[in-house]
Structure 1
Amino acid sequence: MERVIGIIGGSGLYGIEGLDNGAWVRVTTPWGDPSDEIFTGTLGGVKMAFLPRHGRGHVYSPSTVPYRANIDAMKRLGVTDLVSVSACGSFREEMAPGDFVIVDQFIDRTFAREKSFFGTGCVAHVSLAHPTCPTLSAACFAAAEGVKVHMGGTYLAMEGPQFSSLAESKMYREHWGADVIGMTNMPEAKLAREAEICYASVAMITDYDSWHPAHGEVDISEIIATLGANSEAARKLIANLPGKLGAAHESCEHGCNTALDFAIMTAPDKRDPALLARLDAVAGRVL
């Protein structure tokens, strides 16, 4: 099948350049409006779709991002490979501000967000043991240029919008084994799995959170300064992705595009027609 690469850009990344036939398009979903219009076009002969997670002008807080609408919209545009780019703090000395981490695990500490497309009337349970796609993650690692990249890491997703207390930062680092901390990859990764889209997370480190004795509390001015350099490196990574992945998307050997095969539990005669109608894009293959 044809590959469509989706990019969800976080803080500091509100657009991408160089797309042929680029245009902002509005996508409507049964889950409400996405964060913004989606910029579509082709790059290196591969279709691309870019969505600014917080909206142009940074309108949405981490808690109010319309995650379900964003993932549904990407699915409706035919996205097969979805790359999340987001800012984060680091719990590891060797993972320094300015570095990138290709995340492969999550700890979800969010509590104020809708986390599933499914529910009463159509219950489903997908496996999230391995929440990112190894093939897409490897392509992101190979596409990085001019930046130090760490392959693998655990992302602690906090609710926000405030940054961590010192006690929380030490707990996440010393007792929970987290490597980086951010506010937006959950429930995004869970929803991408439910929508059967290959998902990879590129975490751009901006600071050491608040645990580091030489850095103290998070300084927003320093974060913004680091974001500038990180965003340029992220644009290079995105520009290199089509060449690493190619224009054809084969069936994912890790099962990302068949995640719903045995996930739906509700008997066909007990399923809610209204909910099924909302699931037409994300679960149409199995429903």
Structure 2
Amino acid sequence: MTATLAPAEQLGNRLHGVALILVGMSSVQFSAALAVSLYPVLGPLGVVTLRLVGAAVLLLAFARPRLGGRSRRDWLTIGLFGVVMAAMNVCVYLSIQRLPLGAAITFEFLGPLTLAIVLSRRRLDLVWAALAGAGVLLLGSGLGGVDAVGVLFALAAAACWAGYILLTRRLGQAFSGMEGLALGAAVGAIAVLPLGIGAAGAELVRPEYLALGLLVGLLASAVPYSMDLLALKRLPAGAFGIMMSLNPALAALAGFLVLGQELSWAQLLAIGLVVLASAGATAGAGVSGKRSPRARSAR
């Protein structure tokens, strides 16, 4: 589409796409910071339940998916997607309870980064993998008395994120629009609901917390997914993936501005190394003609 546009129009189109991505990523990371502020009342399991239920309600209302005419394979994909999405969110929220937001998201980002490197199979990707490994080691040593359980939760979230990306591709191939995402989000909300009820009980149905749950669901799922869809119409998949590499840095900024979580220069350098490695791996995948696995992930 952009090939028929004048150079100035192409530049404007791409800048518009970049702006959409930045809005979507900022929405995700600042919603996570807002969710953390609810931990003292609801705990991480209560907060993630409100987030997923809010996201499911909004997506179902928007997509209005049909239930009939689905094959057994379609329902299996929906079920796996929902369970993986629920596990990913539970693990990352439990990690954020124990680690600074920027550090938790950096560890979690190893999932899509590893997937990009594995799918690319370029020699240069070994350099990016080494750079990411150095960043992770530096981040771990810079945290001082790092919470091992928090790191394990973040790494589990990373593994789930990689699976989430692959299942998102399957959903995109099997369903039109956002029908598959909406049904998968509903499965995820149902899967996590017993955990949330057990952790927060009646607090979950207080009107003010329900409203915040819808807000977090809107900011964490509905807004960024819509921004991603619009941005992918204006940017190549490789450029999109490079922009998504900024997520750990934006998480660190959100943690600082909203939660007052300060990071040392060593920790910021570590996050920067992971961001650089992810951008390099994604750019390489784009140059080699392969589609970035991050390009279709609706985090």
Query: TM-score by structure 2 length?
Result: 0.27
Larger helix share, 1 or 2: 2
Larger strand share, 1 or 2: 1
Which one scores higher on RCO, CA 8 angstroms, separation ≥ 6?
A: 2
Query: TM-score by structure 1 length?
Result: 0.28
